[in-house]
Structure 1
């Protein structure tokens, strides 16, 4: 028997109120003592008198009568008219059923929205060669003063002594073709930090034999700054921007950020921010060199660079 948490009566409580009524007490007095209404007491007494102790068991909430399912011929007609872009009310008037029935059938068929009639094709792009395009983005993370209440449990009346200790900014870069990533934790998201990270990323990929051609960023102020634009020209990079309020344009960086949060930033309890930052290079090494990548089959991203065995050993060390 699956009793809900606020139930006033269980099977044994029902037996007790039935025995009290059968013993001569009034339903009103029994109801007041049990904390229920007299109607509830009379319901269980009547059921006991008709069915005995088995009548005090919980019953299924399934209705005695089920609605008749819509005939397949009508469902086919509704689908055919919907694909002709008829509205629900027009279909209901034509077929001779209620608009609620049409809505229910269309929802079951996945045609309740007109956009489902002409679905947009999935547009995926991927550069052919490493270095043709890199994606840059920034994720803000709160600093860690010590293990928080999510691990230790919140204690009543304890003041959050780490309130206002600030933020760290994780600058990420991922290659569009190979998905080889580069990450650094910077103190802010200003133009100076963005430029320093770009230079470090270009140098990292150069060590892997990758020459960067273009860089894609969002429309943040640090990426729109004259200093970042000048740095791109100095490094021989062409800068392109994502469409405003369209994160899917920069989807590879967004997806990488979610992976890094799940497998690094929030993977375990860190005692402080320094400990989390020190773990980043180890996790990034596993991501690039050992972690199987979903869209790359069972191989890590570094395998798509086309490096020979000697170069792989040299970079790996």
Structure 2
């Protein structure tokens, strides 16, 4: 990027080249634009050698770095980071390096944030995304906090712990439950490529309920021009049932399940569940379950059509879908 006092931007360089090509002397054009003749000749020479690409700024980084840390030392830094989860201030004294140098090495290898690493193995978490809508649909179920009552997001940690303890006691005595609701489950399906999502609040997580939801979700994706090719679920009882798999495969869709205890594989819908909790279910205190349920449709429409998504360069999910008609929410 040019500095704020630069005489020539990319647009100015094009004007310079156009005037020279029109037959005017380079020295005259340089004087008009307030630059030196060597500078003017430089841009004209770059344009003749590279065309339009030659008018763009180049990196000021040097071609060689003689004092860069050796590959062996960088490997030792990475090994300590991944094996022992140490930070720059701890790794530096062990290897005799400044903490700032260790930090630059970790940034270079994508290891500077522990949140980006898989905790058991220390390996960087690989983010993946399918190439087209419908290639993979993530499906999952999330329990909802009951109203009245509420979890820690609504009433705070102390009261939330009391409600959770009361939940266990009341469930055993068949009293109304405070805390997590056992009559409301939110079933969700999220497209891996576009992040287009649909959700329904249902009364249980049994196989017939999960099958009925998936059939409606599949119709929702078809209404948006998305042809589903594969469905990915966890190993919940309803998804492990043969009846659910048959209902999916009977229409030419493959059913895949994640490895046990690896929720990262189903990460698109897991992240959507967190968005549901933060921006809908626990965004504000609701007076009843019905009020919260009624707010779901507006949230889904906002999420699919208007909410910017960082993984989509700030665009909503509908921007990656062929048919923008929303017939679900």
Match of 1:197 in 2: 213
In structure 2, the residue matched to 1:187 is: 203
1:15-30 to 2 correspondences below 5 Å: none
- Write the mapping of 1:168-183 to structure 2, written as runs, cut at 5 A: 168-183=184-199
Match of 1:127 in 2: 130
**Residues 187 and 104 from structure 1, CA distance in 2 versus in 1: closer, same or farther, beyond 3 angstroms?**
farther
Q: Unaligned 5+ residue runs, structure 1?
A: 1-75, 89-98
Partner Cα distance (1:127, 1:218) in 2 = 18
2:274 to 258, 270, 278: 258
Matched, 1:102 2:94: yes
**Tell me, what secondary structure is at the counterpart of 1:302?**
helix
1:42-69 CA-partner distances (Å, limit 9, x unpaired): xxxxxxxxxxxxxxxxxxxxxxxxxxxx
Find the structure with the greater CA-based Rg.
Answer: 1
Per-residue displacement from partner, 1:89-119 (whole Å, max 9, x unpaired)?
Answer: xxxxxxxxxx99437857662589xx969x8
Equivalent of 2:312 in 270, 292, 296: 296
Return closer, same or farther for 1:256/1:106 CA change in 2, 3 Å cut-off. farther
Sort the Cα spacing of 1:240 and 1:191 in 2 relative to 1 into closer, same or farther, 3 A. same
**1:306 CA displacement:** 2.4
Q: Residue 247 of structure 2 aligns with which residue? A: 231
Matched-pair contact (CA < 8 Å) for 2:224–2:325: no
Within 1, Cα distance between the matches of 2:249 and 2:92? 61
Q: 1:106 to 1:218 in 2, by over 3 A?
A: farther
Match of 1:218 among 234, 252, 258: 234
2 CA distance for matches of 1:314 and 1:265?
22
For normalisation by structure 1, the TM-score amounts to 0.59
1:209 matched residue in structure 2: 225
Compute the TM-score of the two structures, normalised by the length of structure 2: 0.57
3-state SS, counterpart of residue 295 of structure 2: helix
Count how many residue pairs are aligned between Structure 1 and Structure 2. Answer: 224
The within-5 A match list for 1:108-123 is 109-110=102-103, 120=123, 123=126
Correspondent of 1:136 among 132, 135, 139: 139
What do you get for the CA RMSD once the two structures are aligned? Answer: 3.8
- CA distance in 1: counterparts of 2:221 and 2:325, whole angstroms: 16
Q: 1:192 to 1:100 in 2, by over 3 A?
A: same
CA distance in 2, matches of 1:138, 1:316: 19
- For 1:83 and 1:302, locate their aligned partners in 2 and report how far apart those are by CA, in whole Å: 43
SS at match of 1:137: strand
Does 2:265 align with 1:273?
A: no
Give the drift of 1:194.
Answer: 1.1
Contact 1:175 1:181 in 2 (8 A): yes
CA distance, structure 2, for counterparts of residue 150 and residue 123 of structure 1: 30
Tell me the CA shift for residue 143 of structure 1: 1.7
Q: Could you tell me how far apart the structure 2 residues matched to 1:149 and 1:78 are?
A: 48
Structure 2 distance, partners of 1:183, 1:243, is 24
Deviation at 1:211, TM superposition (A): 1.6
Aligned position for 2:117: none
Mark the CA change 1:276 to 1:127 in structure 2 (over 3 Å): closer, same or farther.
same
